[in-house]
Amino acid sequence: MPRPAEELRKEETPEEKEAREAESARLRKERAALKEKLRKETVRHPVPEADKACPKCGGTADRPVGDGKSTTTIEYVPGYFVQREHILEKLACRCGHHIATAPPPPRPLDKSLYGPGFIAYLITMKCADSLPLYRLAKQFARMGVPIVRSTLNDLFHNAAAKLSPLYKRLMEIIARAEIVQADETPMKMQEPNRKGYVWAFITDLLIGYRFAASRSGDTPVAVLGGTTGTLVVDAYTGYNAVTLPDGRDRSGCLAHVRRKIFDATTTAPEAARAGLELILAIYRIEHEALKLGIVRTDKHLAMRQTKSREAMNRFHQWLLAEEPNHLPKGPMGQAISYALNQWPTLLRFLDDARIPVDNNRSESALRVVALGRKNFLFVGDEDTGENLAVLYSLVATCEANGVDPIAYLSDVLMRFDDHPASRIDELLPHLWRKSAAA
């Protein structure tokens, strides 16, 4: 089916066609002028010794043929872009029957003009800094790289398709973890015009995102179905599919309780302040463990089973005492009801020092999605949402492990095709430094 622009061209007059071609010529001239701002580099590639042998006479191709074959890439070097001219050495055998040419430099994506650093920079700007592609196109043009948004879009999604096996492996490792935190946030889809969701699944220093067209429990099942351990989440029933009846143990989020009590400050200020102080006592104990350097140790567990349990008991008694004093549908009544309904899950952290008291890490991981939602508004469809989740996951896990995502992606985009599938874990962000050094 032809596109609207193609249909309009069929109906244009000779004058309109001439004007369109003149405009195209003007744009080509402007882009050529912008490219002149780019730094220029020349990289010479010698012919490998094995290719110099002449199959005709058995001699050696050692006589230069012209300046060599030329090919061009545009690369990003931290701080600037550079246009690299690659000169592929050409040698001829003196018998006149054999010419050897150096192989072209490998490319991160087939037939792409752009180098791995350029693509890595593009991905990082969108997934770490939430810059929409149209803004990046303007930025690149100012730096001497005129590039249309559709090309940026192709580079982004083709890179996601190439790296998707790494993403799948990352999600497998997260699913096997004993303790996982999860949360979700909406992200509008353009086609169809409806709401999709980005889900975050976190364990230790690994962060994985999953895009889905709905908020149903199908996504937790797809990621965590059939696994055991603990799932730290809020009260949303969509997670029931993997916690009831024989799935993961569910651990609640104390921050959600605190937020609801804080929201009741305007209608029940004294009660809200008292409730917030009781919750603060629990966080003070966690802070004390952090200062002592005993987080996740037996000493931390002992502290939780004594001090934290006492603090939680005081909070529970306060909830029961306050409940009759507030309307069930009022802000404080709803906050108290929420806490009491979630009480068994809120106590889970007391029996395992590895379980966090809240789900703030997964909420924090979704902030970049919320910022992206403001800046680029929507994803095209479910497939593009899935590609966004792939690259979000790799970039976020880089940042969680103190890895520069530009350096990581630049390296992995080039190494991935030749890397043994049996050793794919070496290319995951949290293990990459060791494999890159090797």
Strand partners, 84: 41, 73
Both 241 and 368 in one domain: the answer is yes
Residues 319 and 233 in one domain: no
pLDDT at position 30 is: 84
Supply the DSSP symbol for 237.
G
Q: Indicate if 351 and 263 belong to the same structural domain.
A: yes
In this structure, is residue 137 part of a structural domain? Answer: no
Do 367 and 231 reside in the same domain of the chain?
A: yes
395 in a structural domain: yes
Query: Could you tell me the pLDDT band of residue 6, with boundaries at 50, 70 and 90?
Result: low
Is residue 69 in some structural domain?
Answer: yes
Residues 342 and 270 placed together within one structural domain of the fold: yes
Same domain, 390 and 325: no
Residues 245-258 pLDDT 10s: 889 999 999 999 99
Locate 79 and state its tokens: 């701080």
User: Which pLDDT does position 389 carry in this prediction?
Assistant: 97
Provide the domain limits for residue 26: 1-36
State how far the Cα of 256 lies from the Cα of 250, in Å rounded to an integer: 15
Answer yes or no: is 121 within a domain. Answer: no
Which of 356, 383, 405 terminates a domain? The answer is: 356
305 and 173 housed in the same domain: no
Please compute, for residue 4, the number of CA atoms within 13 A of its CA located in the half-sphere on the CB side: 0
Examine the domain organization and report whether 203 and 273 are in the same domain.
no
Total domains in the chain come to 4
Question: Can you give the length of the chain in residues?
Answer: 438
Mark which of 47, 79, 105 sits at the end of a domain.
105
Angle at 132 between CA 127 and CA 183, to 5 degrees: 45
Model confidence pLDDT, tens digit, residues 84-120: 999 999 999 999 899 999 999 999 998 889 999 999 9
Judged against a pLDDT cut of 80, whether residue 199 lies above it is answered with yes
Q: Which is nearest to 126 in space by CA: 114, 137, 115, 113?
A: 137
Question: Is residue 133 a part of any domain in this protein?
Answer: no
132 in a structural domain: no
* pLDDT tens digits, 249-308: 999 999 999 999 999 999 999 999 999 999 999 999 999 999 999 999 999 999 999 999
Residues 224 and 183 in one domain: yes
300 plus 155 within the same structural domain: no
Q: How confident is the model at residue 11 (pLDDT cuts 50, 70, 90)?
A: low
Q: Looking at the structure, tell me whether residues 29 and 41 fall in a common domain.
A: no
Would you say 140 and 81 are in contact if contact means Cβ atoms under 8 Å apart? yes
192 prior amide bond cis, ω within 30:
yes
Return the closest-CA partner of residue 101 out of 53, 144, 52, 55: 52
User: Which of 337, 356, 375 lies at the terminal end of a domain, its last residue?
Assistant: 356
> What element of type H or E holds 424?
none
Residue 110 in any domain: the answer is no
* 112 within a domain of the structure (yes/no): no
Residue 23 — φ and ψ, nearest 5°?
-65, -40
Do 296 and 352 fall into the same domain? yes
pLDDT value at position 2? Answer: 47
Would you give the DSSP letter of residue 306? Answer: I
